[in-house]
Copies of this chain bind each other. A is one copy, B any other.
Amino acid sequence: MAAKRSNLTLDDRSRRLLKALVERFIHDAQPVGSRTLSRDSGLELSPATVRNVMSDLEEMGLVAAPHTSAGRVPTVKGYRLFIDTLLKVQPLSRVEVEQLRENLQTGEEFNPQSIISTASSLLSGITNMAGVVTLPRRDHSEIRHLEFVPLSEGRVLAILVFSDHEVQNRILHVEREYSPSELQQASNYLSSLFAGRGLMDVRQRLLGELSRTREDMNETMRAAVEMAGKVFSNSEEEDYVMAGQVNLMSFKELSDVDKLRQLFEAFTTKRDILHLLDQCVSADGVQIFIGEESGYKVLDECSVVTAPYEIDDHVVGVLGVIGPTRMAYDRVIPIVDVTARLLGAALNSRE
């Protein structure tokens, strides 16, 4: 008895029971009792025995009873153990993978923005939960083109084209008016200087260029460098695209309107969610936060499954799924995993 309870050393029978319990609970969202468990655990055990085991599991903090005479429910710790050691992931079928790939390779319009948002929609659509994808960090994206267009009164529009066809517009404030031809020159000069280089590289190079504003540079070149400085100083703020929030309203664990409101507020505020997602870029593969583990109380009843995605072998962002703690991890995990890979591939494909 004392031996069995010795931390984390769980005999096979208990583990199978826990597994059965979690699976059952995930399936029908109700506390599961000893009778049910003794039936479909696969083991030949009477309800009474199951009760004893349950009692042990409860003492270990793996399951909990909502009230005296309800069945048991997994705790966060229980889910954790389940996911880490008991879960058998269901790999996606070839067909499913192909469908995902097709949907992401929209063919015609190659537009990173829209690929990102289809990814988000796909995640939410397949899982019936909320999908989220952070916009890729562009530190390592190569620059294809830099162009300036004159606007009125000391404003210049800078257009930045990356090699993956992402286009960014920024408006600069400059001291004097520049003629179109001047801007043209500047644009040519900078494009030749930066084309094919990564953003981080460019920033560094620019720093050097700015410091030694040599006399052999003509006025236009100096202006060009200065404007470039403004363009690239703009550290872009992080952001994410979310889809399928409404799906979360169907779960009865979130039927409390007030809880729901707080959750949705967190989604629109974005700050906390971004923080959380940021933690996942460093992680190697799929990462899972169960309930309170995330550290944000609005997510107490939710789990978050994430995976980083890569462009050119650099991790540039994270995608994932947000849903109730009680989610089909065996399906969700591979979905998130595969989608991350496919998104990376899709964003790479026209290098």
Q: Which residues of A contact B (CB under 8 A)?
A: 109-111, 144-145, 147, 149-152, 155, 157, 159, 161, 165, 167, 169, 171, 184, 245-246, 249-250, 255, 257-258, 260-261, 264-265, 268, 350
- Number of this chain's copies in the assembly equals 2
With A249-B257, A257-B249, A264-B246 already in contact, the answer to whether A161 and B157 are too (CB < 8 A) is: yes
Which residue on chain B has the smallest CB distance to residue A169?
B167
Q: Kindly identify which residue among B109, B152, B255, B350 contacts A257, using a CB–CB cutoff of 8 Å.
A: B255
**A112 → chain B closest CB, angstroms:** 11
- For A165, what are the chain B residues with a Cβ–Cβ distance below 8 Å? 151, 155, 157, 171
Of listed A149, A155, A255, residue having the most chain B CB within 10 A: A149
| A191–B291 CA distance with the chains assembled, in angstroms | 57
18 residue pairs of the A-B complex, CB under 8 angstroms, read A110-B171, A111-B171, A144-B151, A145-B149, A147-B147, A147-B149, A149-B161, A151-B165, A152-B350, A159-B167, A159-B169, A167-B169, A246-B264, A249-B257, A249-B258, A249-B260, A255-B257, A257-B260
Residues of B within 8 A of A150 (CB): 145
Q: Give chain B residues whose Cβ lies under 8 Å from the Cβ of A268.
A: 245-246
Q: Report B-chain residues with C-beta under 8 Å of the C-beta of A144.
A: 151
In the assembled complex, how far is the CB of residue A146 from the closest CB belonging to chain B, in whole angstroms?
Answer: 10
Q: Which residues of B contact A152 (CB under 8 A)?
A: 350
User: What residues of chain B lie closer than 8 Å to A147, measured between beta carbons?
Assistant: 147, 149, 159
* A152 and B349 alpha carbons, distance in the complex (Å): 13
In the complex, what distance in Å separates the CA atom of A161 from the CA atom of B152? 12
